[in-house]
Each structure stands twice: as C-alpha cells, then as structure tokens.
Structure 1
C-alpha cells in the first residue's frame, strides 16, 4: 500500500504545522471534537492506520476491535494511563509517547507554583486594588532558597525540576525505587536519595512525578499528609489519583498544610462545587502544566515525525 493512502486520525488538539507535515505523506482526519463523540470516533478509526491523541481519548479493546488496520498510537504527552498497553501489544499496535518534549514546561510549572505557594502573596490582587492593603497578613511568606524540595518520582521531569531548584539554592531530596543508588542522576542533579517516608516528612515542597498505577494510586493519602510539616505545600502535575483529594482538602481546610497546586484530578473536568472551592492558598489549573506554545510545538513535531517513521516502516 502506498504511504500516501494511509490514514491518520488526530482526535485532540495538535500543532497545525505538525498536522500539515503529516498531510504531506498521509490522508489526515483532524477533528478535536472526536474525543467527545465516541460514535464518530469509532467511525473515524475503522480504516485508520494511526491515531494521535492526548490524555482524554481512550485507547481500549473496544476501539482497537473497531480499528482493524491500526498499527500506531501517537501520544501527545507522556502519560499512558488512557491507553490499554496490554491490548495494544496483543494487537501489535505500537505506542509512541512524546518522552521529554514537555519536560521543560512541567518543570517550570512546578518551580513557579512552588514559589507562589510558599510566598502566599499572589492571590490578593482584588484586596489590594480595593484598598484593603493586607500587608501584615502577607509579610510572613517563605523563601524557596534554603527550603527542602522533595521529588517523588525521579525520571526525566523530576531530574529537570531538581536541576532548576538546585540553581535557586534549594536542597533536593528524591524518592524513586526504580532508580539505582549508584545511578548517575543522583550525582548530576545533586539530589539526595531518600525513602518515601523521608521525602514526605522532610519536604517544605513536595512534588509528584510518578505514573498512575496500582502501586501509586492514593500514595499520598491521609496518613502521609498528616506526617508533613504544617507549612509544607504539595504539587501534583503528574496524574489525578496519585494523591487523595478528599484528604488533601481536609488538611488544607483545617490548616494542617500550607498549600497545594493541582494540575490533574481524579475527574477531569471537575464538577461544579468542588471540594477545593473556597480553600486558601490553592492553585488549580486544567491539566496544562506541560502545555506551552513551545512545548506543544515540540511534542507535536516529535509525534508527527515518529508516527511518519513508524508508518513508513510498516509499509516496507
């Protein structure tokens, strides 16, 4: 089959230049509304050779059964919990994540939100503008330099966070049972390897960078939150479900934790009347930590190139 006749479905947003590069080689159906219309999505993939998705499109046995020609799944990001990897392997469908392409964006999100939460001075603009002048209340913020940053999950993103933080004078500790004690990452980043319990108890800032799975679901729960410093802040830009959102909301409401920044949630989008509504020193963002103008271009370009390469190889 000529590569020009192969079909690629793009079911979520992708940089337009990357989509254009795919169109040079394949028949491309780009429709970001497909992710919210399962019937149309199933119809679109029935003759597709590749599908390119983000985190919302579910690659499950039902879709794979419908997409008999499918050989490649391109993931515009790194999380794979919306993809049934076992089913893909059984069907000999290659899964290609955009490893590393959005790491800078996520790392900068972590550093910037950590500093905002520790300082506690950036969510009072309305008060200042109205003349309330809350200077005494906002004069006890903490500096990032000299604090301890605990990184749970020390892969590519975690290591980049460590390097940025170290440059700001932050002590870095990290937990990752999959990374050997003599791995170069510890020396290159200056991070100290600790247990999970030591990371939680020692953190002024704790940031999560692990995939969602049986071992990591609710790994930061009520017991762990109770062992943290009262001024500590928590950041989750990894996956919803890694921390117990209900336990976190209670800790924040009772003043047993200094603050939190969440970019990912167990349910996305969140429903009206969230348990985090009205809580102090909380930053909520809609799963965009890894999304910037530059990262979207990098991620999209990488996946377009890798999907093109894979389909051409499959054609030989």
Structure 2
C-alpha cells in the first residue's frame, strides 16, 4: 500500500511528537508546522483553516485531536461533504476522574474546610453539618459515551443508583446496571437526580438544555457537576439556584467566558490568562461551588495518550481500515 501523508499545522509538544513517532507504522509519513506538503491525505487540526482544507486534492479526512468539536469547526462540516471528520477520546479517563473529584469536593465541603483550617480555624468541625451522604442516592448522567460510562462505574462503586440519558437510546432500558433513557425522558429523570453529572457534547440541540425550568425540576439540594461545556446550562439560572440554595453545591470545570486563545501579542495572552473571570456572575463568591479552569482532561500522561490514540487512527487508515470516532455532521459530534 502507498504511504499515508499526514499534516499537522501546529507544531506539537515534544512528549506528543516522540510518542507518536514510536507508535506509528512505517506506512505513515508526518509533516509538521511550516513543512506542509503539496499533497496530503489527512489533516490533524481542531480548528482547520480554509487554506489547509483546500491545499491538497488528496485530502479525505480531518482528525480533531481532542474530544468535542469547536463551533467554528462544526460550521465547516456541512460545507465539506467530501471529507470525513473524526476526533479523539484519549482524555475520557482523566476527565471522568476530575468529575468525581469535583463531586466529592463539592459534596464534602472540602474547599471551605481547607481554607478555614489553613488559618487555624476548626469551627467547621463543631458546627451543625449537613454534608450529604452519596451512598444510596441517585446519580443522573447526561451523555453516555466514553466519559459517561466511566462516571457510571465510579458512581455505582460508591453505592449510588445510576441513570443516564443517551441521544441514541430509543426507549428506556438497562445497560449493564445503568437505567438508560432517551432524550424525551429528560424532564422525568431530572426530578430523581440527587447528583447530576454533565458529560454530553455542546451542539445546537444541547445549547441551553438546562434552562431555568429544568433546573427547577431538580430536587432541592441536588449536586451538579459540569465537565461538558458551560453553554449547556443557563448561566444566570445556575448562579441564582446555587446562591439561593435550591442546588446544594456544584463542581464546574467549564465556563461561559475564556481568556484569549491566540494572539500575536504574548503579553496580552498572559494578561488574559491571569485575570479573566469565567462568568458574568460571581460564582467565586459562592462557598458551595468548586471552580476549575477547564483542565479536566489534562494530566501528566495526556499528551502521550493523545499521541497513542492518534496513532491508532492513522495506523488504521494506513492499513486501509475505516477510521473510528467519525463525527456525524447533522448531530455535530
């Protein structure tokens, strides 16, 4: 079989590049950064530029090297019917672990306790304690893909009943020990959620999915964790229900406002990263919220895992097999 030519426009980190080189078959030839070849078969880029998409007549697939599909890339899908788009699920394990970390931190009031004791303040030990017990409670997971299924196993291991909502489900039924529902059952399922974990993609269908009315369906004291995307939840409604006590606590890794992603001025980027509030509302002033700067999928092995998963896709293509993780243009993920 002929060589597979692959172009990555942005120079990757060394850990990624060295691992990728070790994992690739001899039939894959890589090009990076300014070394764009005249002809290439696969483009690896989360936010591909128009000139890269049209540079090679041989281009047949685009791989987004992370989970999810950025809005700008999602808008390209209908305009590129001749291309298949794929993404990676390399960070499912660390993301699920972070979600459980956020859940336990929020539920057990770890952050306020830590802050107090650093000042020598032991009063929380002797105060009336309404810390919830998770064992025996119902966890509802929105999105039952690679991350959602891991969350289900974690929650079950803590003695929780687990239900999930999955877009492809046609009717409610058991999948292993999890009761899985179609999206039409969402409102009914929310009423039973002692814990609500969001692990679904952000698309036109899920934008604002948890609006004011749906947040009000959640039982008083419900714990909410979002490692999906901020825009899936109504920003104001979430803040008000946490502030007023309808929701017991939340662990949030994703937000509505972010610092500059790219700029020709490195100082401007650094300034944005140092001082960009993640919301229009002061979530940082709520003691029942644990804040995380969208780092659930990060970790010591992230770049190596990314490279290994990318190599799996490229080796499959080089061997003439179908690439996995194909994105549905209509669904947007």
* Counterpart residue number, 1:75: 64
Taking only aligned residues, the RMSD between alpha carbons, in angstroms, comes to 3.2
2:309 corresponds, among 294, 302, 312, to 302
Q: Secondary structure of 1:74's match? A: strand
Which shows bigger deviation, 267-276 or 111-120?
A: 267-276
Q: Secondary structure of 2:175's match? A: helix
* Counterpart residue number, 1:51: 43
* Counterpart residue number, 1:9: 9
- For residues 232 and 137 of structure 1, the distance between their equivalents in structure 2, rounded to whole angstroms, comes to 22
1:62 CA displacement: 6.4
Contact 1:200–1:228 (CA under 8 A) maintained in structure 2: yes
Q: 1:113 aligned to 2:113?
A: no
Structure-2 change in CA distance of 1:175 and 1:44 (3 Å) = same
Q: 1:190 aligned to 2:169?
A: no
Residues 147-180 of structure 1: CA deviation (Å, up to 9, x unaligned)? 1101112223212211221121001122224213
Q: Secondary structure of 1:26's match? A: strand
Q: What's the TM-score, normalizing by structure 1?
A: 0.78
Q: 1:147 aligned to 2:147?
A: no
Q: Which has the higher contact order (CA 8 A, sep 6+)?
A: 2
Unaligned runs of 5+ in 1: 31-42
Contact 2:138–2:192 (CA under 8 A) maintained in structure 1: yes
- For residues 103 and 67 of structure 1, the distance between their equivalents in structure 2, rounded to whole angstroms, comes to 32
Structure-2 change in CA distance of 1:309 and 1:121 (3 Å) = closer
Q: Secondary structure of 1:123's match? A: helix
Contact 1:201–1:227 (CA under 8 A) maintained in structure 2: yes
Structure-2 change in CA distance of 1:237 and 1:4 (3 Å) = closer
Which shows bigger deviation, 3-12 or 169-178?
A: 3-12
Report the number of matched residues.
Answer: 295
Residues 116-153 of structure 1: CA deviation (Å, up to 9, x unaligned)? 21111333323212122122347321122111101112
1:88 CA displacement: 6.5
Unaligned runs of 5+ in 2: 260-272, 322-333
